[in-house]
Amino acid sequence: MASQNSKRFFLFLIFVGFILTVIGFFSPGWRQYSNGGGEPQLGLASYYCGSGMNKVNAKDCYRWFIAREPWLKAVVAFMSIAFILEVVLLLITLVHVCRKRDDANSFAPAVFLCLLISICLLIAWVVFASKNQTDAKYMVSTQNQLNSKNYPGYSFYLTVISFVFFVFATLVGFYAIKEVNEEHGLGRA
């Protein structure tokens, strides 16, 4: 039952990738500003308006958050699709790993979903990385400090790492399908 071990490893990889995606998607660190500390952080599903000299008026911060550029809406859409597919993938894989019956045909959809998730994450972070620096957003703080130097933050990098986990999980999934086929004599010519 070597294929069961591969499937368990697949489950582990997608679970870690899911956790990284959740943290990356729902934390405010996609776009961070550099201005001496306490800067605002703007995410895809949340935001932080900063503190101290760099704190931005809450209304201004919220207005920026909801007035997104089309490219940022695309990033949110692909991250949302990836998140939903990850939940479905986790459920399918849990059921499959817990079952006694072992066949490649029932596991193949999980691997295909994993590949789709990898593609969604790739599109999301490539679009963000290519467009973020061209989209200069100046945010004036309540103390008239100008927050202007933004860069991708920790949430962005968590998504990149999540992508790597899902690509690796996809490869492990294909290997598990190969193992199942060989265990059932389907992989031999």
Q: pLDDT for 52-84, tens place per residue? A: 766 777 787 777 777 778 888 899 999 999 999
Pull the structure tokens for residue 111.
Answer: 């691997």
- pTM for the structure as a whole: 0.84
Domain boundaries, the chain: 2-36+69-135+154-183
Q: Give the model's confidence band at 151: pLDDT under 50 very low, under 70 low, under 90 confident, else very high.
A: confident
Decide: residue 82, CB within 10 A, 0-12 exposed, 13-18 middle, 19+ buried: buried
Hey, which residues does 32 pair with through a beta bridge?
Answer: 41, 151
Q: Cα(first)–Cα(last) distance of the chain, in Å? A: 21
Q: Which CATH architecture has domain 2-36+69-135+154-183?
A: Up-down Bundle (1.20)
Instruction: Name the amino acid, one letter, at 59.
Output: K
Hey, which residues does 141 pair with through a beta bridge?
Answer: 56
